[in-house]
Amino acid sequence: MAARKCQHIEQGSADPYDEATGAGASAVPALTWTWSARTQSQPPTQPASHSRLATLLLPLFAALTLLACVRSVAGLDPKFDPSTSMRLVLVPTDATVGSVIYRLRATDDEFEYPLQFELVGDAASSTVQIETLPCTKFNSICQANVILTRRLEPGRYYDFQVSVKDTKGGMSVQSCSITATNFTTPHDLIFPHKAGIIMIVEFRTPAPL
């Protein structure tokens, strides 16, 4: 038995076989194939550098998101007073051109005064004109007059938009509408928060007629 095993080795056999034990080199390829199959079935492992890069980028993305949220909250735009929404104002048909038909009001939570009111779009073709009233950085509210620039046609609706801007560029836009009618919007709605008492200085010399 031993001699036969040596003979296989001397002849250069690639698979020396031991008849006594039944084992030989033929078992090695099967073992090698099993190990290779297990190796190929395992998913490739990501490099450690990718994992470290993701760990570093996550806090950066979180910080940028937080910064964007803070900026959107901090950048508050001025806003129109809800009591002067001017969604539909009834103007008398015989309203005089150049007369004030409404008064707008606006505030700014960041106190970036004075505020500036403007007509959005082509002012030349508009039926109204916006006049910003004097306002300083010490004010808590700013106002503007809406002035009629041409006669109104009865039953017709006139739509336009007005913007209000603060000193930092923040802006809000409000849609407005007026129509000529035989009726009129109550005076206290046209001029909200108007003082009801007129103060006259004592001992003041009356103006000549």
Q: Which residue has the higher pLDDT, 207 or 111?
A: 111
119 to 86, 116, 151: CA distances (angstroms) = 14, 10, 18
Expressed in angstroms, the distance from the first to the final Cα of the chain is 148
pLDDT > 60? residue 126: yes
Residue pLDDT, tens place only, 72-96:
445 689 999 999 889 999 999 889 9
From residue 12, give the alpha-carbon distance in Å to each of 4, 5, 6, 9, 84.
Answer: 13, 11, 10, 5, 106
What distance in Å separates the CA atoms of residue 196 and residue 193, rounded to the nearest whole number?
9
For residues 172 and 183, the answer to whether their CB atoms sit within 8 Å is no
pLDDT score for 68: 52
Q: Does CATH place domain 79-190 in 2.60.40.60? A: yes
**Residues 2-36 pLDDT 10s:** 444 444 444 444 455 455 555 554 444 444 444 44
pTM (predicted TM-score): 0.56
pLDDT in tens, 51-72: 676 676 677 667 666 655 544 4
Q: What pLDDT, on a 0 to 100 scale, did the predictor assign at position 59?
A: 72
Mean pLDDT of 178-197: 71
pLDDT for 191 beyond 60:
yes
- What is the arithmetic mean of pLDDT over 131-149? 95
Confidence category of residue 185, pLDDT binned at 50, 70, 90? confident
What are the extents of the domains in the chain?
Answer: 1-38, 79-190
Q: Average pLDDT in the 111-119 region?
A: 96
- 53-59's contacts with Cβ under 8 Å and 24+ in sequence apart are none
Given a cut of 80, whether residue 188 has pLDDT beyond it is no
Q: If you average pLDDT over residues 34-55, what whole number do you get?
A: 56
Q: What is the pLDDT of residue 3?
A: 44
Least confident window among 5-14, 42-51, 116-125, 134-143: 5-14
Cis peptide before 192 (omega within 30 of 0): no
Give dist(CA 14, CA 193) in Å, integer: 108
Percent of the chain residues topping a pLDDT of 90: 44
Of residues 135 and 26, which shows the higher confidence score? 135
